[in-house]
Each structure stands twice: as structure tokens, then as C-alpha cells.
Amino acid sequence: MGRPKKQEARREALIDAAGRAITARGLASLRIKDIAAEAGVSAGSVLYYYPELDELVLEVHRGAVERYLTGRLARTDGVRDPVTRLREAVETGLPDRGDDATHALLYELHSRADRSAGHAALMASLFARETALYATILEVGAATGDFTLAAPAVDLARTIVALEDGYGLHIVSRNKELTPSAARALVLGYARLATGCARL
């Protein structure tokens, strides 16, 4: 009974270590020994649990998507006022700084989507779930009379997510022309136009 739990804990530790290694080195130069060093184990131990590096990287991607979404939902789910909820969603959708590890890891992992069905599915799933988050907020705001939507909620939601993705990439790439606060102001500016809500 104790062995499966111990193995699961070791797998989780390796996934965390691989995430740190990817953030530090990037996917292109990632090696088993980098993950082993991060985890404080031998390269053989990594290979025992993950004989294929691609399998481990896919697990890192899956975990990063779930942690990111869990964090966003934790900040927005309990907020009843749709205007405040939309502002909170925008706050959680952009990196706070250029060295934001979570966003940097997701962008790095998304780069595998064009060569891997598994990574493509995770990227598409994240986009769909973030779109659903915004669409729900917009629909509730329209129902309460706080928002007058300029287009179908799902279309507006997709545009907000796309803006976050684009601005976020510039932030983690350390583009000095776009600060996190400026990016948030731009996304909220679009949201004001899309909803007709001056409170945003």
C-alpha cells in the first residue's frame, strides 16, 4: 500500500524538477541530467520513472496547465460582482513580471504544440477553458445589466484570451515597450469597449 504512494510522490518530484529545469534552460537544451540535478537524484532514477523524456515533458505541461487554471479560478470563483470578477480574471491572466516562472513555462511548453498532438491538445484545452471563464463572466454581467456586449460572449472571451497570450509573451520576453501594468490597462480597455462598462 505504501509503495504506490511513494512512487507517485517521486513522479511528482520529478515533474516539478523538470518544470524548473525547463524554465531555467528551455526545452531545446533540456537533458535528463539537468532534471536529475534539479531533483537531487541520478539520471537513472529519472529514466526509471520516465524512460521517454517526451512523456515527462508532457506531464510537466499537464501539471502547469492545471496549476495555472486552478490559480485563476481560486481568484475569480467566489466573486459575485461581474465587474470585479472580470477585473480579477484579467489580473490573473497576465504575468506580473518578466521572470514569471508559471507563464514562462507555459509559453515554452506551448512551443511543442506544432510537433506533438499531446501538447497541442493541452494548449487547446487551456484556451477553451480560459475562454469559458471569460464567457461565463460576460454572460452573467449581461444578465445583471452590468454589461452590454458588443458581440457574442464567446467571441469577446476568445479575444481577451488572445490579448492576454500576446501581451504575456512580450512580458516574459522582457520587451521593454510593454510593462505588465500597461498590458493590463490595454486588456481592460478592450473589455470596456466590449462590454460598454465604464467601471472596468
What tens digit of pLDDT does each residue of 155-178 get? 999 999 999 999 999 999 999 999
pTM: 0.91
Determine the pLDDT at residue 2: 54
Contact 32, 53 (CB under 8 A): yes
Q: How many residues does the chain have?
A: 200
Asked if the model's pLDDT at residue 3 lies above 90, the reply is: no
pLDDT in tens, 32-67: 999 999 999 999 999 999 999 999 999 999 999 999
- If we measure between CA atoms, which residue out of 14, 170, 24, 26 comes closest to residue 112? 26
- If we measure between CA atoms, which residue out of 51, 98, 118 comes closest to residue 110? 118
Q: Spell out the SS3 assignment of 5-41.
A: HHHHHHHHHHHHHHHHHHHHHCCCCCCHHHHHHHHCC
Asked if the model's pLDDT at residue 144 lies above 70, the reply is: yes
Grid cell digits, residue 74:
481560486
pLDDT in tens, 63-113: 999 999 999 999 999 999 999 999 999 999 999 988 889 999 999 999 999
Grid cell digits, residue 56:
515527462
Asked if the model's pLDDT at residue 199 lies above 60, the reply is: yes
| CA dihedral sign of residues 192, 85, 150, 140 | negative
Reading phi first (left if > 0) and then psi (alpha if -120 to 50, else beta), residue 179 is in beta
